[in-house]
Amino acid sequence: MTTKLALTDLANGQANYLNANATFAQLNQLVQAGVVDRLATPPGSPANEALYIITATATGVWAGKENQLAYWLTSGTPAWYYVTPREGMLVHVNDEDVYYKYTGSAWEVFSGGGGGSGVDIENSGSPVATATTINFIGATVTDAGSGVVDVEIPSGGSYVGAPIRTITGTTGTITVADAGRKIECTNASPVTLTLNAEATAAWPANTDIEIFQRGAGAVAVAGAGFTIKCHATDTLVLAGNGSAAQLSRFGADDWNLVGRLVAA
């Protein structure tokens, strides 16, 4: 077995075509890996070759396989196949449009590094230190070292709003990648959004996330193992199609939801 991707070696006296097919299937998943979503429960009707990251707390046939990669194959007897990730493995989660890197113990949002005195920033959500020039989209910010920052927006520059994540299903997980984003829910059936806890997500300080109900399905928001705060006269459910609410972080597992909510 290979040490990096755990691919099965071919050997004399074996049904090598089976080993080869298994190896090709695994390479098909891991080369330029595109993950459909990060889920704790196996989807009911997965597409052939669909790849997922298993999150806590896994249920069904995924129970006990947290952090593993799972892919569904319909050839032969349809079944789930699993890959144990190794430190440094990088995948793209298509549902969130963000890359995740395996640290050796958990999957975390990947942010690439670079050098030089200029830093290009787009929705990083992280403060920048030691940079003398920060090039935003449509603007240049220069720190002269005096604590005063000059912002220059070139002619024709424009403001670019927060990116939008669309959830079309009836469940969704709010992750670090959603910090500063707008989340719209479009399903006609009730939708449950689960906010990742601090134990599994390194949330930036003062994170805000906007949630919009843009379908008939009522949108409920819940914390993963902790309680989100709201006003005593409100619930954690948006008040109908066209309503909106904002999640605001005040500390570790300390969030408030305010907006157009169903009365308690």
Q: What is the mean pLDDT of residues 11-27?
A: 59
**pLDDT at residue 171, as a whole number:** 96
How large is the average pLDDT for residues 123-150? 54
Q: What is the pLDDT of residue 110?
A: 82
% of the chain surpassing 70 pLDDT: 69
pLDDT digit string, tens, across residues 205-219: 889 999 999 999 999
Q: In this model, does residue 150 exceed pLDDT 90?
A: no
Q: Which of these, 184, 180, 182, 178, lies nearest to 166 by C-alpha position?
A: 184
Confidence of residue 97 (pLDDT cuts 50, 70, 90): confident
pLDDT score, position 163: 86
Q: Please name the residues in contact with 187: beta carbons below 8 A apart, sequence gap of 6 or more.
A: 167, 168, 169, 170, 215, 216, 217
**Residue 49 dihedral angles phi and psi, to the nearest 5°:** 75, 10
Task: State residue 74's pLDDT score.
Answer: 87
pLDDT at 210: 97
Mean pLDDT of 94-107: 89
- What domains, with CATH codes, occur in the chain? 16-107 (no CATH), 118-152 (no CATH), 164-263 (2.60.120.640)
- Mean confidence (pLDDT) of the chain: 81
What is the pTM assigned to this prediction? 0.47
Over residues 183-208, the pLDDT tens digits come to 999 999 999 999 999 888 889 888 99
Q: What is the pLDDT of residues 223-253, one digit of tens each?
A: 999 999 999 999 999 999 999 999 999 999 9
pLDDT value, residue 241: 97
Separation of alpha carbons 42 and 54, rounded Å: 8
Q: 27 or 55: whose pLDDT is higher?
A: 55
Q: Which pLDDT does position 25 carry in this prediction? A: 57
Section 87-94 average pLDDT: 89
At residue 114 the predicted structure's pLDDT band, cuts being 50, 70 and 90, is very low
Q: Is the pLDDT of residue 138 over 90?
A: no
Is the pLDDT at 107 greater than 70, yes or no?
yes
